[in-house]
Amino acid sequence: MGLWSFYFLGKLFLFLWGALRFHFFLNLLFIVFLVLPAPKRLPLHRVLKPGKLVLSFVFGFFLLWYDSYFPPLIYTIRTFQQIGIPEKEYIYRFIINALNPIAIVILIIILALSIYLNKRIKLTPVVVILVLLVPLYEFTQKKEGLTEYLNAFHQSESKRAVSFEQPIIKGPDFDILILHICSLSWDDLRTVGQENHPFFREFDILFTNFNSVSSYTNPSAIRLLRANCGQQKHEAIYQDAPKECFMLENLRSLDYQTHTAIDNDAPAYRFIEDIMNYGRASAPMSLKGIPVQQYDFDKTPIYNDLLILERWWDMRQKSDAERVVLYFDITTLHGGSHWAQEKDWWKRDRPTLYKEFLLNLFANLGKFFQQLESSGRNFVIVFIPEHGIALRGTSIQAPDLRDIPLPQITTIPVGIKFIGPGYYDTPVQQEIIDKPASYMALAQILASFLREPPFGAGGIPIKPYVADLPETRFVAENQEALVVKRDSEYYLLGKEKSWSKLPASVVR
């Protein structure tokens, strides 16, 4: 096989490192293809030899991609066709951040050894023996019953639903603000040292083990807007659902006027179409006249979030609606975003830049909360990220990549804050919810607020609202990858539709 031995030895190292899978039969077939010589008696022997070399590189590339944790190649190409090619600066920084110096050094050593030994011994038998050991290694991983476990989970979730009902006792009206934040997880907060930022102490209820399920914007938004029903499979959220599943639709039936806002206008992502078609959100308010604050990785403008909130607040004060709910999607933390006036942003350390955006977001929201507090109105603020940004990569997924919904990407900080005259009567102790939860727990809390409004004389007793919240086992999924937690172990169902156990280092 010559230097093709390095191809397999390098892949075996990356397999043991945890950076690749190794599909035994396909790799064995490729070895057979490489070893078998083209018959010299054939008249086209001279053509077959270079043709086989070209095919070897083609097969080797596709097999390497298939063994990787990347999504299917066709899916990747279609994604770029949809959203366009990122800025060259973003690509440069992504490559630099994705490279692992230790792995590169080891691969160079393996290459040097392959070149050295190839001149002295036949490496093919060594490679074949090592490849034949792969099934024995995989046999030690316990993966039985995972499909049945997943099917039972979805069956159980299909029976769960939360109803929004009219108040038992008429209480003070309150508005609901749902702030949906792109790219923020607990792991991201820890990476930039902001997991204990005072901003989180402002929330009266704080979830520390909340699963966003998806690691992409559109499906996360749809799942939030369908929070009243149990967790669905990825493909199911793009299908119709019963009316009682839709949060905003149910709030409309309780005389809430629904508003929508976004801080970008990227038509390639079809975000507006998806939240309106599959989440039954209303059309978003105009961004005309709002200054651009940042640009995304594909040069999409991101507008000033504080000024958008202030525009909505001005509209709200002029409205005669008794109750309003705002759904606002905020993308200022998105991967590849940068200040509008900064040219050399790609030369800066990504966590440092992210921390700037994060602190700016906290400051802007804090200012807006103060405006609401001075209004004398009642509000329930829901702060909920879509997913994390993946500031820290793993052996199977580079920083900024979110194709595989690992728990450190989908475990997000979710907070609920009360603003209103009744709130200030009595100090409220923050309630921490640390059991595994997802959107249904949030829907149940909101349903409790609607049934028994939390504002009034004597302060707000929070405990009754968070008692007996529904737990949700950890299952996170995107279109091409699904991660499930069973007991204390995590397993991946990837593009090849077979289960693999994730190393502890990957789900740290």
DSSP string, 369-397: HHHHHTTT--EEEEEEES-----S-BTTB
Which residue is listed with tokens 């009316």?
Answer: 243
Does the pLDDT of residue 201 top 80, yes or no? yes
pLDDT at 263: 95
Compute the average pLDDT of residues 37-62. 79
Return d(Cα 395, Cα 393) in angstroms, integer: 7
User: Could you read off the pLDDT of 467-482 as tens digits, one per residue?
Assistant: 999 999 999 999 999 9
Indicate whether 128 and 191 sit together in one domain.
no
Does the pLDDT of residue 121 top 90, yes or no? no
Compute the average pLDDT of residues 57-69. 94
> What Cα–Cα distance (Å) separates residue 26 from each residue in 16, 21, 29, 129, 324?
18, 12, 5, 15, 57
Indicate whether 110 and 221 sit together in one domain.
no
Does the pLDDT of residue 164 top 70, yes or no? yes
How would you classify the pairing of strands 175-181 and 292-295?
A: unpaired
Q: Is residue 291 part of a domain?
A: yes
Does the pLDDT of residue 318 top 90, yes or no? yes
Return d(Cα 376, Cα 421) in angstroms, integer: 6
Higher-confidence residue of 453 and 491: namely: 491
What six digits make up the tokens of 165? Answer: 């009902």
Does the pLDDT of residue 412 top 60, yes or no? yes
Average pLDDT, the chain: 91
Q: Is residue 195 part of a domain?
A: yes
Last residue of a domain, one of 86, 112, 139: 139
**Residue 11 contacts residue 27 (beta carbons within 8 Å):** yes
User: How many Cβ atoms sit within 10 Å of the Cβ of residue 103?
Assistant: 15
User: How many Cβ atoms sit within 10 Å of the Cβ of residue 305?
Assistant: 25
Does the pLDDT of residue 31 top 90, yes or no? yes
Indicate whether 160 and 58 sit together in one domain.
no
pLDDT at 453: 85
Higher-confidence residue of 417 and 426: namely: 417
Q: What is the DSSP letter of 333?
A: T
CATH number at residue 470: 3.40.720.10
**Residue 476 contacts residue 193 (beta carbons within 8 Å):** no
Indicate whether 297 and 388 sit together in one domain.
yes
Return d(Cα 369, Cα 167) in angstroms, integer: 26
Does the pLDDT of residue 203 top 60, yes or no? yes
Return d(Cα 192, Cα 354) in angstroms, integer: 8
Per-residue confidence at 215, pLDDT binned at 50, 70, 90?
A: very high
pLDDT at 39: 66
Indicate whether 202 and 118 sit together in one domain.
no
pLDDT at 479: 92
Compute the average pLDDT of residues 39-68. 82
CA atoms within 13 A on the CB side of 262: 21
Q: Which residues pair with 380 in a beta bridge?
A: 176, 418
Q: What is the DSSP letter of 284?
A: B
Q: Is residue 507 part of a domain?
A: no
Return d(Cα 442, Cα 444) in angstroms, integer: 5
Q: What is the DSSP string of 487-504?
A: TTEEEEE-TTS-EEEPPT
Indicate whether 207 and 295 sit together in one domain.
yes
Helix, strand, or coil here: 23? Answer: coil
Distance of alpha carbon 397 from its chain centroid, rounded? 13
- Backbone torsions φ then ψ of 78, nearest 5 degrees: -65, -35
Compute the average pLDDT of residues 240-252. 96
The 3-class secondary structure across 220-239, one letter per residue, is HHHHHHCCCECCCCCHHHHC
Indicate whether 58 and 108 sit together in one domain.
yes
Return d(Cα 497, Cα 264) in angstroms, integer: 35
pLDDT at 143: 73
Helix, strand, or coil here: 286? Answer: coil
Per-residue confidence at 258, pLDDT binned at 50, 70, 90?
A: very high
Q: Is residue 314 part of a domain?
A: yes
Indicate whether 214 and 115 sit together in one domain.
no
Per-residue confidence at 344, pLDDT binned at 50, 70, 90?
A: confident
Higher-confidence residue of 67 and 83: namely: 67
**Residue 381 contacts residue 179 (beta carbons within 8 Å):** yes
pLDDT at 394: 92
Query: Number of helices and strands (H, E) in the chain?
Result: 18, 14
- Expressed as residue numbers, the domain containing 45 is 4-19+22-67+100-139
Return d(Cα 187, Cα 412) in angstroms, integer: 8
Q: Is residue 496 part of a domain?
A: yes
Does the pLDDT of residue 77 top 80, yes or no? yes
pLDDT at 122: 85
User: How many Cβ atoms sit within 10 Å of the Cβ of residue 148?
Assistant: 9
Q: What is the DSSP letter of 437?
A: B
Which residue is listed with tokens 């990356």?
Answer: 14
Compute the average pLDDT of residues 90-111. 87
Return d(Cα 30, Cα 124) in angstroms, integer: 12
Does the pLDDT of residue 44 top 70, yes or no? no
Does the pLDDT of residue 119 top 90, yes or no? no
Distance of alpha carbon 50 from its chain centroid, rounded? 44
Compute the average pLDDT of residues 339-361. 91
Q: Is residue 213 part of a domain?
A: yes
Does the pLDDT of residue 42 top 70, yes or no? no
pLDDT at 38: 66
Q: How many domains does the chain have?
A: 2
Does the pLDDT of residue 466 top 90, yes or no? yes
Question: Among residues of the chain, what percentage have pLDDT more than 70?
Answer: 95
Last residue of a domain, one of 87, 115, 139: 139
pLDDT at 53: 86
Return d(Cα 99, Cα 17) in angstroms, integer: 14
Last residue of a domain, one of 139, 163, 195: 139
**Residue 248 contacts residue 229 (beta carbons within 8 Å):** no
Per-residue confidence at 260, pLDDT binned at 50, 70, 90?
A: very high
Is the alpha carbon torsion for 424, 429, 434, 436 positive or negative?
negative
Does the pLDDT of residue 233 top 70, yes or no? yes
Indicate whether 335 and 382 sit together in one domain.
yes
Strand order, beta sheet including 482-486 = 475-477, 482-486, 489-493, 499-501
Does the pLDDT of residue 297 top 90, yes or no? no
Q: Is residue 437 part of a domain?
A: yes
What six digits make up the tokens of 157? Answer: 């979730």
Compute the average pLDDT of residues 395-405. 93
Question: Among residues of the chain, what percentage have pLDDT more than 90?
Answer: 69
Per-residue confidence at 423, pLDDT binned at 50, 70, 90?
A: low
Return d(Cα 62, Cα 73) in angstroms, integer: 8
Indicate whether 126 and 192 sit together in one domain.
no
Q: Is residue 348 part of a domain?
A: yes
**Residue 441 contacts residue 435 (beta carbons within 8 Å):** no
Indicate whether 344 and 423 sit together in one domain.
yes
Mean pLDDT check: name the lowest of 74-83, 108-117, 153-162, 186-195. Answer: 74-83
pLDDT at 209: 98
**Residues 193-199: contacts with CB within 8 Å, 24+ apart?**
193/355, 194/355, 194/358, 194/359, 197/362, 199/362, 199/365, 199/366
> What Cα–Cα distance (Å) separates residue 388 from each residue in 74, 162, 276?
25, 26, 23
What six digits make up the tokens of 99? Answer: 């490279």
pLDDT at 187: 97
pLDDT at 335: 85
Does the pLDDT of residue 268 top 70, yes or no? no
Amino acid 350 reads R
pLDDT at 426: 53
Residues in the chain: 508
Per-residue confidence at 51, pLDDT binned at 50, 70, 90?
A: confident
Indicate whether 354 and 414 sit together in one domain.
yes
Mean pLDDT check: name the lowest of 65-79, 247-261, 362-376. Answer: 65-79
> What Cα–Cα distance (Å) separates residue 3 from each residue in 9, 340, 379, 401?
10, 48, 67, 31
